Structure 1
Amino acid sequence: MDIELARTFLEVMGEGSFIGAAERLHVSQTAVTARVQSLEETLGCQLFVRNRAGARLTLEGERFVAYATTLVQTWACARAEMKLPRGRASRLRIGAENSLWNPVLTNWVLWIQQDLPSVALHTDVSDPKSLLNKLEKGLLDAIIVHRPNYFSGFVVEQLLEEKLVHVEAVAKPSPNLFVDWGAEFKAQYDAALPQPRQAAFSFNLGPLALHILLRSGGNGYFRTRVVEPYIRSGELRRVIDSPEFTYPIYLVFRAGMLADDLSQALAGLRAGVAGGGDWQV
């Protein structure tokens, strides 16, 4: 449907008359009338009742308001999103789940800024389900997650073989801080450990739990690359005889021909991950 028809409908509703809408849109009243008639024919219902006082919505018109508003807003967002900033030749849209924005996504963004200066960049930090949904719809070009979806249209590539290890604060090794690293981790945890995983303090974000542990003490499971610097400094130590759990990091992107800028960006990500970097929170 022509977006101008929906925009004209909203203007008539807001102004309360065809004349007012015509003045707002800088068109003739005849043009407004023709647009409304075309919209009514397309929808198969009457949207306005015209009288001497102006125009008021019918019941069907009231129902159409939400749809027209969504259409106009979505179109405005699409135009803003698709238009490239000055000096940029293309756009990339990348994402990572919450626990991977630092340092993996951060380092990737910095690499793109430096090595692909003609690329405009949009980043999205969210939960894996939302990221995978956006990737499937084409709203993102590539994402970094812990639990990929092996959808037939996706390419899934393991970036890192990460592990979750049990550590404690040297100065104060309690209380237990349980971090929910996802369904797979919880299944591994329940199978390997006899004690229940219920704890007085539980988190769904690892960096937050680690901040609490470093400031006030405790113990819990965290990513090896994140806790290694604190183990070396003597702030944390591994809990003896505690099991380790696998927690790999995956790159996911759509199958098919890769645009040159995306191909270069993926190569930069792989090189950056292979080179290590600062994983401290």
Structure 2
Amino acid sequence: MNPELIDTFLDLCETRSFNRTAERLGVTQSTVSGRVRALEKLLGRRLFQRSRSGTELTTEGLMFAPHARSLRVAWAEALHAARHAGDSAMTLRIGLQHDLAAAHIGDWVNAFLAAFPGVSVYVEADYSANMCADLASGGLDLAMLFTPQGGRDIHFETIGEIGYRMVSTDTERLSEVTTARYVLANYSPAFAQTHAQLHPGLSTAPVSSGQNATVAGLLATLGGTAYVLDETALALAASGQARLVADAPAITQPVYGAVLLRNRHRASHRRLMKLLRARFTQRPSRAAPQPGLQSAP
């Protein structure tokens, strides 16, 4: 099996654009077209219909798509098994949303190692969309993320939530927060929607970011006001580096555990989900102050 043909087919199923798939895969449009022709020749069926209105899957393409996803996962698992065949320990591949990993990655890894003796752990911080893609391709065994996506091949469960609070180097009152001195946090679509409902007047801030550490760093450099993780906000307030905007409502963000649908009933994956829920109830309420922030005036 040529995995490039399968990857190209599945990406094109998502984008419905030969140009967009070429950009995403880092190849030319002619390469994408050639791979599609090669796969169609191999199958003896037309998979896509191109017209002025765009690219659509044929009936045969629609029927082949779920099998292509299964082939991609099987190929990834076969590669993983072959590469680790001589190892004494299995590798558990876990993805964590950036804001979860930044403050607590050590706690998570210690918990994984304690729960699975003899198993090595590979952990990477990423965004929800990338982790869903890696789960679907077999690159991850489990992910903790903010935004479920990826279709019917992935199973999602709510495992907890985290909170964000508004802090400021300028003021303790929401009425005194200005757009010009605001750093707009965009941690997830759900967070952005809630924020827009609560603070419609702050949605045009000149600076924005999707990571807690970056937002804290921007406050350190620029000053102003922003939403940061609960523990970051409490630590900054305790150290005098910033102040809580007391009358600004907190915003909560659900956290989901994600695994391949076919793995959701496996004992190891159920154990992981249980472990993650338990760890959320044990997360500390405070983190160390963020480095670089100056004391609020």
* Correspondent of 1:206 among 202, 209, 212: 212
Which residue number in structure 1 is paired with residue 23 of structure 2?
A: none
Q: Is 2:271 aligned against 1:270?
A: no
Q: Please identify, of 91-100 and 271-280, the stretch whose mean Cα deviation from structure 2 is larger.
A: 271-280
Deviations 1:104-160, CA, capped at 9 Å, x for gaps: 443221222344231122223222111112212332111011112384444322222
Shift of the alpha carbon at 1:79? 6.2
Q: Aligned to 2:215, what secondary structure does the other structure show?
A: helix
Asked if the contact 2:185–2:215 (Cα under 8 Å) also holds between the matched residues in 1, the reply is yes
CA 1:81–1:171 in 2, change beyond 3 Å: closer, same or farther? farther
Q: Matched residues in 1 for 2:162 and 2:86: separation?
A: 37
1:33 corresponds to: none
Normalised TM-score (structure 1): 0.62
Residue identity in the other structure for 1:226: T
Task: Please name the residue that 1:129 is paired with.
Answer: 129
- CA distance, structure 1, for counterparts of residue 117 and residue 94 of structure 2: 16
Q: Which runs of 5+ in 1 are unaligned?
A: 4-41, 44-73
1:159 touches 1:270 (CA, 8 Å); kept in 2?
yes
Secondary structure in 2 matching 1:140: coil
Q: Which ranges in structure 2 are unaligned for 5 or more consecutive residues?
A: 4-40, 43-74, 291-297
Amino acid at match of 1:78: L
Measured in 2, the distance between the counterparts of 1:163 and 1:213 equals 18
- In structure 2, relative to structure 1, the CA distance for the partners of 1:2 and 1:161 (3 Å cut) is closer
Aligned to 2:70: none
Structure-1 residue corresponding to 2:147:
147
Q: Report if aligned partners of 1:178, 1:203 keep a CA contact under 8 Å in 2.
A: yes
Q: Is the 8 A contact 2:170 2:225 kept in 1?
A: no
Is 1:195 the counterpart of 2:201? The answer is yes
- Aligned to 1:253, the other structure's residue is in SS state strand
Q: Match for 2:79: what amino acid? A: A
Give the structure-2-normalised TM-score: 0.59
CA contact (8 A) 2:129 2:147 kept: no
Cross-structure match for 1:96: 96
Aligned with 1:241: secondary structure? Answer: coil
Deviation, 1:203, is 1.9
Q: Among all aligned residue pairs of Structure 1 and Structure 2, give the percentage whose two residues are the same amino acid.
A: 19
The 2-side partners of 1:248 and 1:121 are apart by: 24
Distance 2:145 2:210 in 1: 15
